[in-house]
Amino acid sequence: MKKTTILFYLCSSALLFLFQYIYQYFGHGVYSTSLTYVWLIPLIGGSLLATLAKITPAYTTRLVRNLGNSALAIFV
């Protein structure tokens, strides 16, 4: 997996964390549990995909990468 892909997962996690922090700050005591932990999805999912790409060469194909990225986008 390329370093830009890993950097993209880290940046998207950071942006989602910032979004949920701002939402809780201006939410007047209203918060969502799923929004609180939404930043973990690209962080854990991206690291899982990167680990699988290093271990198994079958996870480096374009189809598998596209399906993995689509699955993470759907979960977020």
pLDDT tens track, the chain, 76 positions: 678 888 999 999 999 999 999 998 998 888 888 889 999 999 999 999 888 888 888 888 889 889 989 999 999 8
Q: What is the domain range of residue 43?
A: 3-75
pTM beyond 0.85: the answer is no
pLDDT at 19: 93
**Position 24, amino acid:** Q
A 10 A CB-CB count for 70 gives: 10
User: What 3-state class would DSSP assign to 30?
Assistant: coil
Residues in CB range of 11: below 8 A, 6 or more apart: none
pLDDT at 1: 66
Euclidean distance between CA atoms 51 and 45, whole angstroms: 10
pLDDT at 33: 87
Q: How many domains does the chain have?
A: 1
